[in-house]
Amino acid sequence: MPRRPSNPRLANIEDWRHGAEADPGFVTALARGLEILRAFGRDDRYLGNGELAKRTGIPKSTVSRLTQTLTSLGYLRYVDQIERYQLGPGVLALGYRYLAGNGVRDIAHPHMQALADSTDCSVALGSGDRSEMVYIDVCQGRGPLILRLDVGARIPMPVTSMGRAYIAGLPEADREAVLARLQAHHGDEWPFLRKGLEEALKFYADHGYCVSEGDWNRDVASAGVPLVLEGGAHVLAFNCGGSSLRLTRSVLERTVGPRLVETVRLVEHDLAGAPTATAGFRPREPGT
């Protein structure tokens, strides 16, 4: 099983530098400020300028100016007693505005909860971010689960059913760009991961969903299905998973995978009929 980077959120920190080289309109100062905010991980309550500089590769003197500006704008909060920063209410406001503006989440939630209740599994909706998937909604079944993740949780893209489904749902050009980014991110592990992805894409073309059996967490098995919006301009992905002891390959193929496909079709149906449905929504058939 491939190791996970110690800080996968920042493994592609060179992205802003590449952007500056490729696009004369790229604003490096803005990119650096956003990287400061991205440096805070799920378990990082407080970070100082030195740690932020180390994580981002941005000079400490520049980090100091950026954190001062972000604090003034409310995106960071400075704690005098420990001389460190924590994320401020401005970041939370942006997150809630994103979730509130994403009508897919509201429409999908009842269908996700129904599937979670009927299968006693965890059902999640996620969006791609660099080499990871970010949970934007989660519904839990009533039974005990091996892995409980909340909104905002991040999981690796190439070894999870959600990540594999996301890649499967991308238009070809976007998919190749994501694969190139994953190759740069994972380095020597990539040939192994690429083989697993190729098998997952073939399985998706035949069945309409992807699976992961302990590929990321050995105790967890799951199925994943993409949701393709705006003709491929926006792709999200769902997963449905639980204990690998209960969700064997047979159960994934006989029950969980097909049920998740049905759930996503219901979401697509409701999106197509919603007055505020995503413009240009077109469901895409597996393998196309």
Question: Each residue of 242-271: pLDDT tens digit?
Answer: 999 999 999 999 999 999 999 999 999 998
Question: How high is the pLDDT of residue 15?
Answer: 56
User: What Rg value do the Cα atoms of the chain yield, rounded?
Assistant: 20
> CATH classification of 102-273, choosing from 3.30.2000.10, 3.30.450.40, 3.40.50.2300, 3.40.50.970?
3.30.450.40
Q: Is 156 helix (H, G, I), strand (E, B) or coil?
A: strand
Using alpha carbons only, what angle is made at residue 235 by residues 283 and 204, rounded to the nearest 5 degrees?
70
Nearest to 236 by CA among 137, 110, 93, 120: 137
Following DSSP, what letter does each residue of 47-88 receive, concatenated? B-HHHHHHHH---HHHHHHHHHHHHHTTSEEEETTTTEEEE-
Question: How high is the pLDDT of residue 59?
Answer: 94
> CATH classification of 8-89, choosing from 1.10.10.10, 1.20.120.1200, 3.40.30.10, 3.30.70.2190?
1.10.10.10
Report yes or no on whether pTM surpasses 0.95: no
Question: How high is the pLDDT of residue 102?
Answer: 64
Question: Each residue of 88-136: pLDDT tens digit?
Answer: 878 867 775 666 556 899 999 999 999 999 999 999 999 998 899 989 9
Count other C-beta atoms under 10 Å from residue 181's C-beta: 16
Q: Would the CATH topology of 8-89 be identical to that of 102-273? A: no
Enumerate the domain spans of the chain.
8-89, 102-273
- CA dihedral (154, 158, 159, 164) positive or negative: positive
Question: How high is the pLDDT of residue 12?
Answer: 45
The residue assigned the tokens 């639980």 is 242
- d(CA 192, CA 1) in angstroms, rounded, equals 9
> Would you give per-residue pLDDT tens digits along the chain (288 residues)?
443 333 444 444 455 555 555 667 888 899 899 999 989 987 788 999 999 999 999 999 999 999 999 999 989 999 999 999 999 878 867 775 666 556 899 999 999 999 999 999 999 999 998 899 989 999 998 876 656 788 888 899 999 999 999 999 999 999 999 999 999 999 999 999 999 999 999 999 999 999 999 999 999 999 999 999 888 888 999 999 999 999 999 999 999 999 999 999 999 999 887 664 443 444 444 444
